[in-house]
Structures are given as structure tokens and as C-alpha cells.
Amino acid sequence: MRLVITAAALALGALGTGTARAAPAAPSCPTGQLFATGNTAIITDPADPRLRTRLTRFEHEVRAIIAANGARPGGSTLLDGVFWSADLKQATYERSREFDVNRVSRDGLHHLADVVAKQYHQESVLTFPCLPRNAPQAGAVEIQAPGVDSTRLHDALLADPEARDELGGGSTTLDGRLVLIAPVADLPLAQRFTRSLGVDWSRAEVRYSEEEFVR
């Protein structure tokens, strides 16, 4: 799965990149998250009808997989992804879903991702176990911020060669909320890219995790 792997900086003062701070992560942060899709095609046309699917059946099936494996399914959010393909030299698009998963261990989350990847013939499924900010293994962040739609994300990505090559892409919810994930090492670049989208950093919600693709 070609998934969002971009983000924005949190501890800006510590990084020497500014003084503003994002809003703290919500206390309702789930135990873990899965980002996945049932799509196996490469879509390059933003008008492709496959991008209008709500992945309703996929949502029900994945939630059933989560429950059948002893975890508790939470909410699920439909995402519009925009990604840069270095091979094709153009943007690709994908509908996917984020699934909240509770009462699950790290190994259990990996197992769920493995089941989903195999059942839907995916190259990989992204797991994002929610961790405390200072956890030693917290090497990635997820940023959610209002005020960005997929068109704005697409235009900003194509206008910024460094961001498109290093960060790869991003996703938005249907109500215009940015969802970005990246390694901590990419925070300065991701902060600059996020600001280019017009994001008010003080309204961003930050979650920390050990980001892994399960193949």
C-alpha cells in the first residue's frame, strides 16, 4: 500500500525551528491504528470513479478481523491519499481507511496488519501504536490538522520537489483534515511543508508512535 509517510514537527523550540507548539495529543488516542486499503491498482487520474468509493464493505470486514483476533475495533476514518511516484514521475491517488484498534498489544497489532495485508493482497499495511511522547521507541509522529483538502495537498506536493521526494505524500479526510505520518528525522522538512499548506500549527494534534510497515 502506498501510504502517507509525511508529518510536521512538534517540539519546535528543541529543534531550533521556532517557538510555536502544536496542541497536545488527545487523551482518547487509541491503543493502535491501522492504515490500509483494499485497492491494488495504481490510480493516476484524480477523476477515477474508484476514488469515490467509501470502502464500506472493506470497513466492515476489517473491523470483523480486528474483533475476531481478540482486539476491540474503534472508529474508522475514510482518507483521500495523494502520493508521489518516483517511477511514474507523477502523482498517484488512493482511497484508504484508518482503523482505531484498542485492547491490543504491539505484536497483536502487527498480526492484524499481516492478516489484512494477505487478505487484500497489499504490499504492506502501516501500523501506528500510540506511545507516550518520551517513549524510547517513539520514532514517528502523526499530525492531524484542520483546513486542508486533497486538491491543496496535491498542488503543494507537486510544487515542492524536496517534499514530494523525501516525504512521499499525505492524506486528508473528507471534511478537510490533514493526516500526516513521518519519521522524527524528517520533522524540519515536514514542518515547512505543513506550513506551506496553510496549517495553523497551534491547532494541530500530535501523536507519537513506533511507525512500521507490516509486509
Whole-model pTM? 0.83
- Rounded distance, CA 150 to CA 80, Å? 7
pLDDT digits (tens, 9 = 90+) for 120-132: 999 989 998 888 8
- Rounded distance, CA 108 to CA 99, Å? 14
The angle subtended at Cα 121 by Cα 72 and Cα 137, nearest 5°, is 55
SS3 of residue 213 by DSSP: strand
C-alpha cell at 104: 491490543
pLDDT digits (tens, 9 = 90+) for 90-107: 999 999 999 999 999 989
29 within 8 A of 186, measured Cβ to Cβ: no
